[in-house]
């Protein structure tokens, strides 16, 4: 870097130094490893995704304090796809082709992930995806550090059935890939458990939906049939704010019709009056209220970095933390940031999670996780009421869908297949997505 006064040296000296100055940016680029951050900073998903951008900047800063990676500092390249799914693909291509990032950390909705997937596969780059998703996908170029359905949705339904005695189910979601596929799996699972179709209500609303009066009224009516009823919510983004407000307006309390949410955490609750929501549930693999030394240290450093003790942590932040540390460890093991080498070295990598245990990258590019159920508290935090006794391995292909139950994914050589059929003994292709 040159000081401002260097810009005002004499004309002759400036000309003499011209060649050297021209080379400075190129040399700086060679001395850093660029990391892409692909999260919506505007639009309907900014309520959730902006924090993950901040998390990545925090993690990069922490890693640079340790000396960077492979002796080089990490450099963040931030873009804003603005909750526009096609724009995600355009921004991903920009990060890979123009900015030359070594890996990308980003996306929240499955629509955005589906949009960028062909780009990462075409350009053989790496995406670390930190949010719960619907499964039914496996890509060599994607590492799924959020929960698969068997690490969130199915345990949540089991909890409600066993602990709350729920017999009727409202599957309420935003109208896009994740809720639709998750609810398809949950309906098949409930049917397999003996739940009849008339005891399952499915409803979808668009992103940013704000008028919940009629829908909540329908939920209330559905729950008045004499059987314990619960809402399984895959509502995403800022639509959650008016949804929960309308529940309170119509007097629906947790003891009457509990809601278990898969996309509402501490960050989303920060914008709500949580007192009427006390007792409603969320299923995640991490809560800020987890009691562990690792979590306490993370929160302390996060608050120091963000300079705001009121900023909360949440599950996708932990998934980002895990994915980033796995990438660092795999790069250092490979001795390079090249995609093929990192893909080969990352399977089996284990790093600490924030619950006091470890997360391991499995051959299907999913990780091991504990499953936690939390109750909303008046202060916007969660009281953890259930935790699996051990870690759960993410299942990329659902055991409850006919087209998926015979498929497995294993990206290790020599199999290197995302949808190997154990019945036919054949691989359906290098990549399989639904």
Q: Do you find a cis peptide bond into 414, omega within 30 degrees of 0? A: yes
The 3-state secondary structure of 56-85 reads HHHHHHHHHHCCCECCEEEEEEEECCCCCH
Confidence of residue 10 (pLDDT cuts 50, 70, 90): very low
Q: Which fold has domain 150-290+373-393?
A: Rossmann fold (3.40.50)
Return d(Cα 373, Cα 155) in angstroms, integer.
9
Return d(Cα 214, Cα 342) in angstroms, integer.
50
Do domains 11-148+296-369 and 150-290+373-393 share one topology? The answer is yes
| pLDDT exceeds 60 at position 433 | no
- Cβ atoms of residues 113 and 133 within 8 Å: yes
* DSSP-assigned beta bridge partners for residue 426: 421
Averaged pLDDT of the chain:
91
Residue 96 DSSP one-character state:
I
Residue 95 DSSP one-character state:
I
Confidence of residue 188 (pLDDT cuts 50, 70, 90): very high
The pair of structure tokens assigned to 251 is 């007097």
Q: Which fold has domain 11-148+296-369?
A: Rossmann fold (3.40.50)
**Reported pTM:** 0.88
* Residue extents of the structural domains in the chain: 11-148+296-369, 150-290+373-393
Between 238 and 18, the more confident residue is 238
Reported as a single tens digit per residue, the pLDDT across 344-369 is 999 999 999 999 999 999 999 999 99
Residue 412 DSSP one-character state:
S
Beta carbons within 8 Å of 314's beta carbon, 6+ residues apart = 51, 265, 266, 267, 284, 286, 287, 288
Return d(Cα 387, Cα 119) in angstroms, integer.
37
Return d(Cα 238, Cα 433) in angstroms, integer.
28
Interval 406-415 mean pLDDT: 95
């Amino acid at each position: 870097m040159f000081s401002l006064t260097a810009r005002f040296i004499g004309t002759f000296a400036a000309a003499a130094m011209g060649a050297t100055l021209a080379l400075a940016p190129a040399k700086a680029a060679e001395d850093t490893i660029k990391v892409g951050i692909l999260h919506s900073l505007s639009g309907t998903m900014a309520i959730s995704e902006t924090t993950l951008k901040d998390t990545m900047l925090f993690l990069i800063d922490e890693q640079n304090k340790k000396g960077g990676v492979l002796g080089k500092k990490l450099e963040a390249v931030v873009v804003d796809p603005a909750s526009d799914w096609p724009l995600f693909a355009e921004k991903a291509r920009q990060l890979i082709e123009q900015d030359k990032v070594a890996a990308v950390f980003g996306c929240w909705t499955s629509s955005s992930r589906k949009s960028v997937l062909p780009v990462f596969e075409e350009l053989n780059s790496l995406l670390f995806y930190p949010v719960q998703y619907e499964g039914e996908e496996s890509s060599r170029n994607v590492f799924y550090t959020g929960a698969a359905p068997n690490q969130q949705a199915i345990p949540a339904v089991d909890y409600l059935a066993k602990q709350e005695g729920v017999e009727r189910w409202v599957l309420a979601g935003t109208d896009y890939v994740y809720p639709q596929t998750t609810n398809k799996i949950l309906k098949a699972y409930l049917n397999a458990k003996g739940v009849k179709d008339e005891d399952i209500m499915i409803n979808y609303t668009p992103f940013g939906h704000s008028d919940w009066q009629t829908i909540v009224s329908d939920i209330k009516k559905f729950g008045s049939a004499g059987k314990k009823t619960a809402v399984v919510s895959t509502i995403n983004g800022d639509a959650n704010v008016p949804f929960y407000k309308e529940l309170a307006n119509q007097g629906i309390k947790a003891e009457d019709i509990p809601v278990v949410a898969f996309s509402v955490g501490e960050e989303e609750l920060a914008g709500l009056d949580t007192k009427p929501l006390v007792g409603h549930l969320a299923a995640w693999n991490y809560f800020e209220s987890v009691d562990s030394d690792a979590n306490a240290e993370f929160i302390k450093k996060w608050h120091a970095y963000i300079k705001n003790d009121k900023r909360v942590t949440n599950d996708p932040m932990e998934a980002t933390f895990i994915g980033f540390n796995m990438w660092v460890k795999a790069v250092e093991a490979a001795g390079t940031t090249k995609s093929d080498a990192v893909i080969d070295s990352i399977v089996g990598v284990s790093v600490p999670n924030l619950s006091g245990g470890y997360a391991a990258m499995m051959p299907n590019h999913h990780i091991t996780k504990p499953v936690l159920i939390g109750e909303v508290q008046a202060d916007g935090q969660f009281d953890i009421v259930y935790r699996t006794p051990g870690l759960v391995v993410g299942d990329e292909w659902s055991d409850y869908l006919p087209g998926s139950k015979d498929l497995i994914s294993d990206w290790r050589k020599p199999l290197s297949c995302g949808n190997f059929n154990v019945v036919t003994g054949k691989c359906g292709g290098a990549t399989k997505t639904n």
